[in-house]
Amino acid sequence: MDRTALVALLSAALLAGCGRGPRIVVGSKNFTEQVILGEILAQQLERRLGAPVERRLNLGGTLLAHEALVSGAIDLYPEYSGTALTAILKSDPVSDPAAVYDKVRPEYERRWRLTWLPPLGFNNTFAIAVRGESARSSHLSTISDAARRRDGWRLGVGYEFLRRPDGLEGLQRTYHLPLQGAPVSMDLGLLYQALQGGQVDMVAANSTDGLLSKLDVKVLSDDKAYFPPYQCAVVVRERSLAAHPRMRSTLEELSGRISEDSMRKLNYQVDGEHRPVREVAAEFLNGLK
């Protein structure tokens, strides 16, 4: 089945099963951070509005989540500004966070009548990381520092990083990192294990990874501002906002309230400590009072 057919099938299935009425349907993509955020949004709406909220979490990748929103299968989901710019709008990466948001927001409104609410407060961009001992012994603080290393780096990356317009090719054009052979691609969940075990000595990870709050690793500063910003924000259908007049203000209570450090800790509580997502989300919201 091709991707277009898969998107259509998913959207039809979601619409058939939602039983819409006044119910609000919250979606998310299919990785831990998104599921946590989807649950936080769902509980926030339940607490503040007292409305029935249906969860359609773990939908799939960016295209599937976006199509579910456009089709009306879901009312809202969390998205990243840089992903919207490059993957959905097919535009070139831009390094200024405000410029990215200011381009994405009106385009989504014009094309699909979708509203971007103010960002939640964190930026989940790529993070080039090395073992802490390597950073200390070689006095590394930036990616440019790493580019001056004489011995090549054994680089570990997620599968998408090799193909993304903001991935390896552009990174090498910008920094010319010396590499030992081709990068080793693997599941994102295995990157830190490979780094700690010595199979690689540098990884292209994500800045809100939970393990960054626990392991002895050093995230190197992107001193040439290569990676575009990925501010996370809630994207919601205009029709849904009109149907639930207090929805916008309820969701905007979360704007600016989730820092990168907070997101790392939330991710670790689920992935590292194996706590239930609903429990982690509820604890976070209770802490905001």
> Which residues does 122 contact at the CB level (< 8 Å), separation at least 6?
208, 231, 232, 258, 259, 260, 262, 263
Superfamily grouping for domain 3-123+230-287: Periplasmic binding protein-like II (3.40.190.10)
Sketch the domain layout of the chain as residue ranges.
Answer: 3-123+230-287, 126-220
For position 18, what pLDDT does the model report? Answer: 43
One fold for 3-123+230-287 and 126-220 = yes
Query: Whole-angstrom Cα distance, residue 201 to residue 188?
Result: 15
Query: How confident is the model at residue 93, as a pLDDT?
Result: 82
pTM of the model: 0.82
Strand 126-131 and strand 202-206: the pairing is: antiparallel
Give me the pLDDT at residue 92, please.
85
CA-wise closest residue to 164 among 267, 235, 82:
82
What's the rounded Cα separation, in Å, for the pair 56 and 76?
10
Cα(147)–Cα(171) distance, integer angstroms:
11
Q: Are 52 and 213 in contact (CB under 8 A)?
A: no
- Look at residue 56 in the predicted model and tell me its pLDDT: 97
Q: Looking at residue 10, what is its pLDDT?
A: 55
Intervals of the chain under pLDDT 70: 1-21
Beta bridge mates, 170: none
- pLDDT (0 to 100) of residue 1: 43
Per-residue pLDDT at 17: 45
Q: Are strands 184-186 and 155-158 parallel, antiparallel or unpaired?
A: parallel
Rounded-to-integer distance, Cα 215 and Cα 229, Å: 24
Instruction: Give me the CATH topology for the region 126-220.
Output: D-Maltodextrin-Binding Protein; domain 2 (3.40.190)
Locate 258 and state its tokens: 């989730």
Give the containing element (helix H, strand E) for 79. strand 76-80
Q: Helices 277-287 & 32-49, crossing angle to 10 degrees? A: 60
Q: How far is CA 144 from the centre of its chain?
A: 25
Identify the pLDDT of residue 61. Answer: 87
